Amino acid sequence: MEELALQATSLSKSFGRTRAVDGISLTMRRGEILGLLGPNGSGKSTTMKMILGILRPDSGTISAYGIDVAKDPMGVKKVVGYVPETPQIYEFLTGVEYLDFIADMYAIPNVERKERIGQFLEGLQLKGHENDLIGGYSQGMKQKIAIIAALLHRPKILVMDEALNGLDPRSAKLVKDLLRKLASEGVSVLFSTHVLEIAEALCDQVAIMYQGKIVANGNMADLRSQAGLPGSTLEEVFLKITGTGELDEIVKELSK
């Protein structure tokens, strides 16, 4: 039997009268890359933040490798790495100071942290900028620092919310290849992106959210079957399932 890395059951979350997440359930197996897709406002980021313990669900339960997120949020943080859509990084620190701070939080030994930080800086082409203030970094450089910070403690689960935003093509390819390698070694990845070609190439399973609900989930064959579109791309499936495929008339009106 395959080991469950993540199990979220009947999650709901409202903000005032807005039902952001409406009774969804998700499972992710060890070594699986699960794409969480949906239009803006569909509830993806809210779901991710509940999984991380940043937001408390109104109802439902979440466990990561058997650790209850509500009961032991610090325990969950030891096994999960997180890359948010817009990283909030201490801009008054240099890149290496920030990564040292993250390593301190996870009690990573000095020799190991130095080696891992050095490898990541080299691989993501930040070598030579590690002693510059983060406040002077480009958005892409900040994103790279956030990715390194999420990976430093060797998490068992990675939660990545639009994590490739702002990356140059080389770095984006490196991160995608790294995610595949980590998954082959048993790391589970919950991955959100608006670039459906990336999701189709990278993800083992896909869950599509719309208006706070999961409206389709499975591998590509499952999704094509659910959409009634054999041989279609993920983009075509996504537009059909979310009801946003009738775009020709809109384009015609906007181009007048």
Q: Please say if the pLDDT value at position 226 is more than 90.
A: no
Q: What is the DSSP string of 186-201?
A: T-EEEEE-S-HHHHHH
CATH fold of 4-88+157-254 reads: Rossmann fold (3.40.50)
Q: Coil, helix or strand for 105? A: helix
Q: Report the chain's terminal Cα–Cα distance, integer Å.
A: 58
Q: Please say if the pLDDT value at position 232 is more than 90.
A: no
Quote the pLDDT of residue 177: 92
Tokens, residue 156: 């068992």
- Domain locations in the chain? 4-88+157-254
Predicted TM-score of the model (pTM): 0.90
Quote the pLDDT of residue 195: 86
User: 126-130, 152-156, 173-177, 227-231: lowest mean pLDDT where?
Assistant: 227-231
Q: Please say if the pLDDT value at position 165 is more than 90.
A: no
Question: Beta strand 59-64 with 33-37: parallel, antiparallel or unpaired?
Answer: unpaired
Residue 201: exposure state from Cβ atoms within 10 A (0-12, 13-18, ≥19) = exposed
Determine contact, residues 12/57, Cβ cutoff 8 Å.
yes
Tens-place pLDDT, residues 195-212: 888 899 999 999 999 999
Q: Stretch 36-65: mean pLDDT, rounded? A: 94
How many CB atoms within 10 Å of residue 230?
Answer: 8
Quote the pLDDT of residue 248: 58
Q: Kindly state the percentage of the chain with pLDDT values over 90.
A: 71
Q: Please say if the pLDDT value at position 68 is more than 80.
A: yes
For residues 197 and 126, give the distance between their C-alpha atoms in angstroms, rounded to a whole number: 27
- pLDDT class for 227, splitting at 50, 70, 90? confident
Tens-place pLDDT, residues 109-118: 999 999 999 9
Q: How far is CA 202 from the centre of its chain?
A: 12
For residues 215 and 30, give the distance between their C-alpha atoms in angstroms, rounded to a whole number: 23
- pLDDT class for 247, splitting at 50, 70, 90? low
Quote the pLDDT of residue 246: 61
Let me know how long the chain is: 256
Q: Please say if the pLDDT value at position 5 is more than 70.
A: yes
Q: Stretch 35-51: mean pLDDT, rounded? A: 93
Q: What is the DSSP string of 139-162?
A: HHHHHHHHHHHHHTT--SEEEEES
Tens-place pLDDT, residues 184-197: 999 999 999 888 88
SS (H, E, C) 161-176: ECCCCCCCHHHHHHHH
Which of 155, 80, 67, 83 is CA-nearest to residue 124? 83
